[in-house]
Structure 1
């Protein structure tokens, strides 16, 4: 049976093109700002680590925000994380980043313009037949403004994938601030500014990634409706349907 999703969640032509192009090395994702002659090129797709999700329930959210930290330190309840409504197969899944480069000059100095185009949790190697916005638990697409997409916010431009069943333990290291200073996190630093927090009692992980002001979560569906990939785009790319 061929999958047919909710048309209100379906990615439009521009978002579909971006999601497919961002993970195709050598492709062009537009041009450098104020320099239409210089392309932004996808330089590669890097697997930065793996993520254990034993519960099959996935959080895609900021690992913390300023209000949550304030409430956490005072013993007050914090907001629930943005858990996706869709379930994924329990197990270990690769976390991948699509990198772009768009060289530019600023005050006479040259920069390589390397940026994260999108971050992907690869669930399977099956082909993606279509993309749709990923709803969170309790979210209603009918309540969004026309053209709006469900998304998460990120006060500090950091998002994460995490096992929902171990969220309390996994997110705790991001909420500990003493005398106005963040406590060091035993996170096992990863390349490219990512972090990985583990909870061995649950055999579960949290992995952070860059998310400028938050991001839109996209589900890559197979022909039968299974989820092959979960991708986060942010900034302009995340806002376009």
Structure 2
């Protein structure tokens, strides 16, 4: 039986095109702001690291937000993370980043305009036949209005993939504050400012990535309806069906 998604979550033509083009080296994703003659080009797809998800439950969210500062300082529990309603098979998965370049001039200086177009968690290598927005466990599809885009928000322009079962331990380094600012943390530094936290007692990981103001979480479905990829985009219109 072929997978048939819900129209309220399905990616429209613009979002589908972007999700496919973002991971295609050489593809043009538009033009530089205020310069229609200079394209924004996908320069490559980088395997950033791997992520262990032993529980099969996945958080895709900011590792902290501004509200956590005063909650932490007052001894109150911080907000629960945005755990996806869909589960994945327990395992170890590649985290990939699609990079773009759109050079421009800024006050007479050349800027290469390198940006992250999207971040992908690769669940399987099976072909994706359709995309839909990923709901959180506490979100109700029946409450969605036309044009709604369920998403996570990030005050610090940082998102993460993390095992939900080990969230308390994995997110702890991001939830210690000094004078209202995140304290220096002992995390593994990956390329381009991304970080990884390991919980060896549970064999679980958290990996951060850039996410301007947060982002929409997209599920790439196979013909059978299985999730083959989970992609985060930010700064892109959802263009839902």
Using structure 1 for the length normalisation, give the TM-score. Answer: 0.97
Deviation of 1:192 (Å): 1.1
SS of the residue corresponding to residue 166 of structure 1 reads helix
Query: 137-146 vs 151-160, which deviates more?
Result: 137-146
**Cα displacement (A) at 1:239:** 4.1
Report the Cα distance in structure 2 between the residues aligned to 1:177 and 1:69, rounded to whole angstroms. Answer: 7
For 2:125 and 2:237, how far apart are their aligned partners in 1? 24
Superposed CA RMSD in Å reads 1.1
- Alpha-carbon displacement from aligned partner over 1:85-122 (angstroms, at most 9, x marks no partner): 00001011010000000010111111110000000000
Aligned to 1:52: 52
Q: List alignment gaps of at least 5 residues for structure 2.
A: none
Match of residue 141 from structure 2: 141
Q: Tell me, yes or no, if the aligned pair for 1:73 and 1:176 is still in contact at 8 Å.
A: no
Comparing 100-109 with 134-143, which one deviates more in the overlay? Answer: 134-143
Q: Match of 1:211?
A: 211
Contact 1:100 1:117 in 2 (8 A): yes
Q: Which runs of 5+ in 1 are unaligned?
A: none
Distance 1:68 1:169 in 2: 15
Distance 1:182 1:214 in 2: 18
Residues 216 and 238, structure 1, Cα contact 8 Å, conserved in 2 = no
Q: 2:62 corresponds to which residue?
A: 62
| 1:233 paired residue number | 233
Q: How does 1:54-93 map to 2 (within 5 A)?
A: 54-93=54-93
Deviations 1:115-167 (A, max 9, x none): 00000000000000100000000201232331111000001000000000000
Is the contact made by 1:85 and 1:136 (CA closer than 8 Å) also made in structure 2? Answer: yes
CA deviations 1:207-241 (Å, max 9, x no partner) are: 00001011000000000000000000001x15443
Residue 96 of structure 1 corresponds to 96
